[in-house]
Structure 1
Amino acid sequence: MFVNNYNDALAFIHGRTKFKKIPTLDRMRDFMKRLGNPHEKVKAIHVTGTNGKGSTTAYLRDLIAEQGYNVGTFTSPFIEKFNERISVNGKMISDEEIVRLVNIIGPVVKEMDSDWRDREGGPTEFEIVTAMMFVYFAEGHVDYAVIEVGIGGLFDSTNVITPLMSVITTVAMDHAHILGDTIAKIATHKAGIIKYKKPILIGKLPDEAIKVVKQVAKEKEAPLLIMDKDFSSKVKLEQGWGEKFDFSDSRGEISNIHISMEGFHQIENATLAIETFIQFAELEGINYSNKDIKNAIQKTQWLGRFELLNKEPLVVIDGAHNTAAMKRISQLLRKEFADREVYVILAILADKQPNEMLDELLKLPNVHVTVTRFEGPRKVTKLADFKLHDNVKYVEHWQEAIGEVISNMSLDDMLLITGSLYFISEVRNNFEG
């Protein structure tokens, strides 16, 4: 056996190189060929975007599963446990499956380490996890898969597939050191998942991003559907946790759809997922009802997306990890929580936009921010790298920051912990523990 237990399997995966200097899909294609091209056996929807990928994937999972199908999802990062990244009908695969898959993949990786030693070496960590997913799904555990891109799209290891259709949720500044320093450059990477004559659906993108997507779609002869042009939603007032909206496209309207997650951006994610599902069902000859759609959307949950951890006082975690996501959080706080004091504990990876994210929160008069740090998988922003603000507290350890904030809060106040999916994963596990 290549590995004997779960811990050894994780050690092998996490011990691999994270990135290579030269972006390419050649190594991943070779990897797939050596494994018998499992990706060619998977019927999938491919999802990319700066923000909203995870929630859109979750809505799509539940929409397809509502029809009685087994639906695989591939997502990152995980919130509670590594196994979440490869799931079926929302249930993560077992430790035993992780071990089994590494024992299939591992020997091939070692072969490639030797064969590719003059070309930056064998597969990366993400390529290995992607290969594990393709092998597992190809074994027949799923009828369909919703596969989330890791970073970008064009050179992402998931991009070896030819999906039934592709989805771009949003395009904003993020991973600029990898994807480029303009919206157009980032959009070019996202548009890299568009395939020849396969439908592409997009959410609310900036004009310069839409221009790029339109051009690529034209070149690939891919039917393009655009939110607020080909399909749309109308927000309705909702009391309590969650949102309500009406959906419409050329087929008609679905009224009073309720989602269990907070924020107008979740309405956008759900709207994009619904139209994608409608196109998917038509392509696959699947009959559905409007009631099926409403039932599926209402039951969808996604860990770490404005997730309620405690009611009194109100404690919420959210994985907003770039400026665009923090703007949406600010809009949500302004809309739903303007009548209470909001205490924010913020920790951000160093390769993000820490000061821009902080500035977004400081625009709100009822928000009090404490900046802190955590043990991230990559470099975390140092307190000294944040701008100094008289009304911001700087506490080195997040556990201490939470203790200080909670001791000064009343039951009517709110605590929001945000800035990184990795950060809230660490916090969430601590809360549950």
Structure 2
Amino acid sequence: MFQTYEDALGWIHARLRLGMKPGLKRMEWMMEKLNHPERRIKTVHIGGTNGKGSTVTFLRSILQEGKYKVGTFTSPYFEQFNERIAVNGQPINDQEIVQLTNVIKPLSDELEQTDLGAPTEFEVITAMSFYYFAYVNPVDVVLYEVGLGGRLDSTNIIHPLLSIITSIGLDHTNILGESYEEIAYEKAGIIKNGVSIITAVKQPGALKVIRQKAKERKATCYLLGEQFSVLNHESVSAGEKFSLHSIFQSYEELELSMMGEHQVENASLAVMATQLLNKYYSFMLEEEHVKNGLKKAYWPGRFEIMSNSPLVIIDGAHNEEGITTLIHELEKRYSDKKINIIFTALSDKKLDKIIMKLDKIADKITFVDFDFPRAARSEELFALSQNRNKHLSEDWKKAISHEINELNANEMLVITGSLYFLSEIKPFLVESFS
């Protein structure tokens, strides 16, 4: 049995060596042994390529404004591991991690002796979350973020009140498929019999796949642009403003503190979810809860301004779609600035296409190393770049400090790429600007 948080966390992280093993059999085995905690909780399931974390945050914030106790299961964590299992935005404490690990480890050991094999790190954490919300700290509803894909994801053993698919992008193509349609098939795997699905997917082929799956499952489909729409969107200095009209209700002058046109889409999904929870599941959520919840919602590392003078922004744009969105916001908001970029990423991304997009907007780009098992090397990233003003550095702290010290009034620094990287550098930036 584990006595310390460090030992418990060490055991969990050691399971990364097992990699990813898509499938639900090991989860179903563990849930049977735990007397099916996943059946004892009300859930909302959120999948998609980008925007899952932000959509969870908007929905959680609105529900909290309505005085509901809200659990969340998200990944990856940003500042500490415990964030992955949280209640009302507060990560569970270290002792609870120890407690949960001591529950799951004996099952893991037993499972490893079967033909199913040992559970992965993600399966262990998912099982811990189900046990926690069912038996340790019951809540009104839990928002479950899909880890990867959907159909074979560890979270896909739940039968939720609602399902949400935020977007479809060409990410994890080595696992999920090379086309939008193939990836949509995996994402649509979270659609359950009779459970409404809300989505902002735009690609016609991907949307056709989702509609077909919803039809097969007799699940009502609510599509952004059809059953609900964003109107009068306006980007302002402190965030975004917009109105939302749906087949149920309309809201005028909604405000977000999070920046980006994509965040308006994510927020609209959350608002539509609250309307369905209100109408069909007796969640008492009023207009004031929606407005206050959206305004207060905060999710770190998403177009987050770390300093205004000098202007430094961090953004977890870790795939091609995320980079496209980041560039759109930079061109819209900071067309008068020279843009210096620091970038690193995981090696399993489509790095050539990502870097090609960054090359076009960067007046200067610096590639750095960071300590993570799947991190790409700065030399590899540097070689892919065609930018005339490109640099590399093995020491990200020196690179960031140098760029900040050299910034002029007409320049800005954008640090982007892997969320794992941003989680590592943010404390350093906070200290630098304090």
Question: TM-score range, shorter-chain basis?
Answer: over 0.9
| Range moving further from structure 2, 372-381 or 244-253 | 372-381
Distance 1:404 1:356 in 2: 27
1:217 is matched with 214
- Counterpart AA for 2:76: P
Following superposition, the deviation at residue 205 of structure 1 comes to 2.8
2:374 is matched with 378
Q: Does 1:368 align with 2:364?
A: yes
Alignment of 1:22-61 (within 5 A): 23-61=22-60
Distance 2:20 2:77 in 1: 25
1:88-135 deviations in Å (ceiling 9; x for gaps): 000000001000111111111111112x2x44x221100000011000
Q: Does 1:147 align with 2:155?
A: no
Structure 1 161/85 Cα, relative in aligned 2: closer, same or farther at 3 Å? same
Residue aligned with 2:108, SS: helix
1:87 is matched with 86
2:125 is matched with 129
1:11-70 deviations in Å (ceiling 9; x for gaps): 110111455676321111001111111100110000001000000000011111111110
1:248 is matched with 245
1:339 is matched with 336
Alignment of 1:100-111 (within 5 A): 100-111=99-110
Distance 1:189 1:370 in 2: 35
Following superposition, the deviation at residue 406 of structure 1 comes to 1.9
- 2:82–2:94 contact (8 Å) kept in structure 1: yes
1:346-372 deviations in Å (ceiling 9; x for gaps): 0011100222112222233x6422122
Q: Does 1:358 align with 2:355?
A: yes
Distance 1:299 1:193 in 2: 29
Distance 2:71 2:305 in 1: 26
1:226 is matched with 223
Residue aligned with 1:76, SS: coil
1:155-179 deviations in Å (ceiling 9; x for gaps): 1100010000100000000111111
2:424 is matched with 426
- 1:309–1:315 contact (8 Å) kept in structure 2: yes
Distance 1:16 1:210 in 2: 36
Q: Does 1:195 align with 2:192?
A: yes
Structure 1 304/7 Cα, relative in aligned 2: closer, same or farther at 3 Å? same
Structure 2 residue corresponding to 1:415, chosen from 396, 413, 416: 413
1:163 is matched with 160
- 1:349–1:380 contact (8 Å) kept in structure 2: yes
TM-score by length of 1: 0.95
1:138 is matched with 134
Residue aligned with 2:58, SS: helix
- Counterpart AA for 1:230: Q
Residue aligned with 2:394, SS: strand
Distance 2:236 2:152 in 1: 43
| Unaligned stretches of 5+ residues in structure 2 | none
Distance 1:149 1:66 in 2: 24
- Counterpart AA for 2:258: M
Structure 1 runs of 4+ aligned residues shifted over 4 Å read: 17-22
Distance 2:72 2:250 in 1: 28
Aligned length in residues: 428
- 1:354–1:381 contact (8 Å) kept in structure 2: no
Distance 1:398 1:335 in 2: 28
Q: Does 1:301 align with 2:304?
A: no
Distance 1:284 1:73 in 2: 19
Distance 2:124 2:71 in 1: 17
| Range moving further from structure 2, 208-217 or 366-375 | 366-375
Aligned-pair identity in percent equals 40
Q: Does 1:78 align with 2:74?
A: no
Following superposition, the deviation at residue 216 of structure 1 comes to 0.7
- Counterpart AA for 2:101: V
Aligned Cα RMSD in Å? 1.6
Residue aligned with 2:236, SS: coil
| Range moving further from structure 2, 352-361 or 220-229 | 352-361
Following superposition, the deviation at residue 237 of structure 1 comes to 3.0
Distance 1:18 1:296 in 2: 39
Structure 1 22/329 Cα, relative in aligned 2: closer, same or farther at 3 Å? closer
- 2:43–2:161 contact (8 Å) kept in structure 1: yes
| Unaligned stretches of 5+ residues in structure 1 | none
1:317 is matched with 314
- 1:183–1:209 contact (8 Å) kept in structure 2: yes
Structure 1 17/428 Cα, relative in aligned 2: closer, same or farther at 3 Å? closer
Distance 1:184 1:239 in 2: 35
- Counterpart AA for 2:236: Q
Distance 1:175 1:286 in 2: 36
- 2:232–2:242 contact (8 Å) kept in structure 1: yes
2:401 is matched with 403
Following superposition, the deviation at residue 264 of structure 1 comes to 0.3
- 2:367–2:378 contact (8 Å) kept in structure 1: no
TM-score by length of 2: 0.95
Following superposition, the deviation at residue 378 of structure 1 comes to 1.7
- 1:245–1:257 contact (8 Å) kept in structure 2: yes
